[in-house]
Amino acid sequence: MRLLRRLILLLLLVIAVLVAGIWAYRHFILPPPPGSILIPPTPQVTPPPPVLKPVIPRHVEKLLESVYRQTEVTRSYDPSYVRLKYPGGDVPESTGVCADVVVRAFRAQGVDLQQALHDDMRKNFRQYPKRWGMKAPDTNIDHRRVYNLMTFFERQGKSLPVTYNAEDYLPGDVVAWDLGNGQGHIGIVSHYKTPDGRPLMGHNVAYGTNIEDALFFWPIIGHYRYFNAPADTKTTRQAPRP
């Protein structure tokens, strides 16, 4: 009787070993049938943090929207002298010079630099540069010259210190540069920034209006803030991509 019991236990052990071997072969050794697809387990990946889009400060919203729109339509540079209506005169929006970027953006914000500069220049002509041999103000060209705009902003008390700290330049600020040989250039600080926090500039330097990393590309000779944010300004809205 004891022998029979041992034989039965041995038989059960053999059967258990065979079943375990068959299961292991089917799951770890036997290749998958034709047409089957092995799907690896999905790894646990931590989602990246959300990317914050730049925002347009409300107090210069229309100005910066104008700069962005100019990048779409103003695709050439033409410094030719053109007779303009006054006030509100402009060359075709498909072209222009660096000063036209500023003039168009200010008009969108409600300030006509053609008229404002002319009114001041007419009363204070001697305070403006004599670079062009002018004997009287000219509403066709005065507001399209960098050094005249710089003088106007200075006379309006809008000058700020020139620094090489990117945080000192806020969206909507105007920056003037020296390109060399007495040639001035001007542009507007945008709300877009480089990954390291340097604001991009809206300007036209011979190939149409663009928003580029140009703040510290040339020596800065002027920094102006015409539109100051109200103390209680808190609302901003998301901007279109450049």
pLDDT tens for each residue of 90-118 = 999 999 999 999 999 999 999 999 999 99
Please check the confidence at residue 13 and state whether its pLDDT lies above 70.
no
Residue 45 resides in a domain: no
- For the ranges 54-58, 80-84, 204-208, the lowest mean pLDDT is seen at 54-58
Residue 47 resides in a domain: no
Higher-confidence residue of 235 and 63: namely: 63
The domain of 155 spans 56-238
211: β partners: 202
Residues 6+ apart with CB under 8 A from 199: 166, 169, 170, 171, 189, 190, 191, 192, 193, 215
Q: Name the domain count of the chain.
A: 1
12 pLDDT band, cuts 50/70/90, is: low
230 pLDDT band, cuts 50/70/90, is: confident
Entry pTM: 0.76
Residue 34 resides in a domain: no
Residue 6 resides in a domain: no
Whichever domain contains 153, its CATH number is 3.90.1720.10
What does the pLDDT read at residue 101?
A: 98
What does the pLDDT read at residue 15?
A: 72
Cα of first residue to Cα of last residue in the chain, in angstroms, is 92
Give residue-wise pLDDT tens across range 74-94.
Answer: 999 999 999 999 999 999 999
Of 193, 191, 231, 170, the closest CA to residue 56 belongs to: 191
Residue 13 resides in a domain: no
Phi-psi region of 96 (alpha: psi -120 to 50; beta: other; left: phi over 0): left
Please check the confidence at residue 29 and state whether its pLDDT lies above 60.
no
Residue 37 resides in a domain: no
Please check the confidence at residue 135 and state whether its pLDDT lies above 80.
yes
